[in-house]
Amino acid sequence: MRHLLTLALFAASPLAAQAPAAVVPPPSSAVKKAAATITAPDVARRVNIIADDSMMGRDTPSPGLEMTAQYVADQFKSFGLKPGGENGTWFQRYDILQVQFDAAESHVGFMAGGKHVHAEFTTDARFMGGTTPDKEIGGPVVVLGGKPNRDALAGMDATGKVVVVVMDYSKGPTAGGMGQMIGAVYALHPLGVVILSNRDSAGWANRMKAPYRPGIRLAGAEGRPPVVEVNDAALAAVLAAGGVDVAKIRADTSMVILADPGLKVMIDLKETVLKKSSAPNTIGILEGTDPKLKHEYLVYSAHMDHVGIASGKPDSIHNGADDDASGTVGVVELAEAFSRPGARPKRSILFITVSGEEKGLWGSNYFVNHPTVPLKDMVADINLDMIGRNWPDTIVAIGREHSDLGKTLEAVNAQHPELGMAAIDDRWPEENFYGRSDHYNFAKNGVPILFFFNGVHADYHQVSDSPDKINADKESRILQLLFYLGQAVANNPQRPQWNPDSYAKIVQPPKPAS
């Protein structure tokens, strides 16, 4: 589970009106027998393998991540799955670049009313993150500021534009909460994001002193838009000429949205590539039994990476037992159960463990842009990220309100009281967990999703997230519930259907041809 929201091929998915209650046939004796193979000892054994110190925290990229990917592939092979990666292998690889930002050769240009001002990264601008474009980008702007209000952005589209966010740091380090809006801004599909800062001179000077350290990013143009911060003290004249009164915007007690003021912003960022490497996704396929439906796929996903090694500490390895060895083990356990005699459903199942989730949903982002089976044939994604801790009888199912998968889950849950596991609604909508794990890349490309998550805890992203703290009995019961859920989805003649309002809000439009 990554800290912050990041922001594709488009796959159409049928829409549903108000979904009726789902009817789920009772499982056969063979399916029950297969579910019973998911046991607490198996879960504990596999978590101890993936979250062992020998995996060195499974950073992306790292030898430990490669060992984990191979372990998962070996398990898939032992179950009789087919390789679902590239060129007949179990793996799909994507390129990663180690880069050095070049401040001296970069700038942000502001143009309005015949005025043209460059904000230089050596004095007035700071690169905050995102993907460095391979050429200058920019155009007209959308200006946001005032009092933060996510709802005010509903229906807005900034495609082909730069979003300019007016911050007010006189209200504190979080700029009155406006900084928390940046995640929502990504969903507007901007070319880039420019933060106008009114930090005091000392604060800005300290920001400029910080060196740019080498970083790593996903190769290509599939990452999130670049984000830069600019000291607006140098821009007063050009902003005024463009109809952007930053003082008035900061004083406003409501959300301010200026669509297409007379301002144009161009972002020109340069970097040097220091090193090129790659990382794996591991993919296995269990072919369905129905001659027609086997060409459609139910997806189970989890991320096998974690955050690596924290240098300078006695215990330096982030084992990532809950985050997300628990989910990775879940995908493996489910693959084993579905491969048992009599448990193979009508639709095919794609089991995928991705990497780079902690860096920005890299592996799943690459997969949906380069799918190894057609994205339009994926009927649903069930994502597992942190399912081994907290309450022994409850698991949160995020996204259940967005499609009729929620009704199916409800029916399956009611059908299996013997599991003692209640799947409940998102308890933390303000945290936007919907956008913080790999299912999001499937959802925004039209694939209905359910995301199973037990919430964070004191060991989240700490070296103390260790295997001994996993409640293997709880996880085994969750996995049995998800096995029965998968049987219901993969055997249903009808594909899962989006709720129309959710589809309109979540699914992104197709990318323009390059």
pLDDT digits (tens, 9 = 90+) for 97-106: 999 999 999 9
pLDDT digits (tens, 9 = 90+) for 448-481: 999 999 999 999 999 999 999 999 999 999 999 9
pLDDT digits (tens, 9 = 90+) for 165-191: 999 998 887 777 777 777 788 878 899
Q: Can you spell out the DSSP letters for 122-161?
A: TTTEEEEESPPPSS-EEEEEEEEEES--GGGGTT---TTS
- Look at residue 260 in the predicted model and tell me its pLDDT: 86
Higher pLDDT, 154 or 280: 280
Strand 215-218 relative to strand 378-384: parallel, antiparallel, unpaired? unpaired
pLDDT digits (tens, 9 = 90+) for 197-236: 999 999 999 999 999 999 998 887 667 799 999 999 989 9
Contact 348, 372 (CB under 8 A): no
Q: Can you spell out the DSSP letters for 445-489?
A: TT--EEEEE----TTTTSTT--GGG--HHHHHHHHHHHHHHHHHH
pLDDT digits (tens, 9 = 90+) for 300-333: 999 999 999 988 777 899 999 999 999 999 999 9
For CA atoms 99, 370, 280, 364, the dihedral sign is: positive
pTM of the model: 0.86
Confidence of residue 14 (pLDDT cuts 50, 70, 90): very low
Q: Could you give the CA distance from residue 328 to residue 483 in angstroms, rounded to a whole number?
A: 15
pLDDT digits (tens, 9 = 90+) for 262-282: 999 999 999 999 999 999 999
Confidence of residue 2 (pLDDT cuts 50, 70, 90): low
Q: What is the mean pLDDT of the chain?
A: 92
Question: Taking the domains of the chain in order of start, what are their residue ranges?
Answer: 29-96+278-506, 103-269
Indicate left, alpha or beta for 386 from its phi (over 0: left) and psi (-120 to 50: alpha).
left
Q: Could you give the CA distance from residue 265 to residue 425 in angstroms, rounded to a whole number?
A: 42
Q: Could you give the CA distance from residue 416 to residue 129 in angstroms, rounded to a whole number?
A: 46
Q: Which fold has domain 103-269?
A: Glucose Oxidase; domain 1 (3.50.30)
Contact 283, 308 (CB under 8 A): no
- Look at residue 207 in the predicted model and tell me its pLDDT: 92
H-type alpha helices, 187-285: 201-209, 236-241, 246-251
Give the CATH H-level superfamily of domain 29-96+278-506. Zn peptidases (3.40.630.10)
Judge whether residue 20 has pLDDT over 60: no
Dmax (CA) for the chain in angstroms is 77
**Does residue 439 sit in helix, strand or coil?**
helix
Q: Could you give the CA distance from residue 445 to residue 4 in angstroms, rounded to a whole number?
A: 20
Contact 359, 130 (CB under 8 A): no
Tell me whether the omega of the peptide bond preceding residue 324 falls within 30 degrees of 0, making it cis: yes
